[in-house]
Amino acid sequence: MLDYDRGTHQRGTEVVCAAISAILTEYPPTNTQKGASMPNSGQPTISQGATGDAVKRLQRAFRRTPDLGLALDGIFGPATEAVVKEFQQGSGLTVDGIVGPNTWNALPDGGPMPTLQDGSTGAIVSSLQTILTNGASQWGGVTPQGIDGDFGPNTKAAVEAFQGWGPVQVDGIVGDQTWAVSLHAASATLETSVGLQYVIG
């Protein structure tokens, strides 16, 4: 028969629990359900001074929290760092201004919306046309002349009117800057009104 020492057993359990906790802190789970993945998995750790696509993804994610005051410029400067720290504090994360796995996992998907332009088709174009039609009186009355899911010259003209109202570059192409335009209603942007289900992972 084995001798059982309750104190040794409890200390051993505490050591194992502490080790598991340290591992989970250093390497957080990448999903919570079988087959599910976090919306920003695989993103690099970034901090002030970083530039490029990862920073744009971060800024898109923050604009979807929504923090519409943050510019979508791909530059991790003081304004982005301040938003990161505020988010980390509010989310119970380490407040260091560094965006690592824990911060990425706490954010909404920062993937881009599709770029829409003359020749684009589908449900996303129909949703865009609906928003452009419903709000046309705000940006000069120019509408896409119907909701048919076909991005043609009339939709391009409506997009250009919207961009002029935005104000963003007027080019008739719906990209990052146009998707990010605030509609001045309940923190909505063009992309949230059209639907974030179209985000490209």
Confidence of residue 41 (pLDDT cuts 50, 70, 90): confident
Q: What is the DSSP letter of 47?
A: -
Assigned token pair, 118? 């003359």
What is the pLDDT, as a whole number, of residue 186?
61
List the beta strands (DSSP E) in the chain. none
Please give the residue that has the higher pLDDT: either 121 or 26.
121
pLDDT in tens, 81-105: 999 999 999 999 999 999 999 999 9
In terms of CATH, what superfamily is 53-106?
Answer: PGBD-like superfamily/PGBD (1.10.101.10)
Q: Where in the chain is the domain with CATH 1.10.101.10?
A: 53-106
pTM over 0.85: no
Cα 195 from Cα 197, distance rounded (Å): 5
Question: What pLDDT does 71 receive?
Answer: 86
Answer yes or no: are the C-beta atoms of 51 and 28 closer than 8 Å: no
Asked if residue 131 has pLDDT above 90, the reply is yes
Average pLDDT of the residues in 175-197: 86
Asked if residue 181 lies in contact with residue 128, where contact means CB atoms within 8 angstroms, the answer is no
The CATH number corresponding to 123-198 among 1.10.101, 2.60.40, 1.20.1410, 3.30.1490 equals 1.10.101
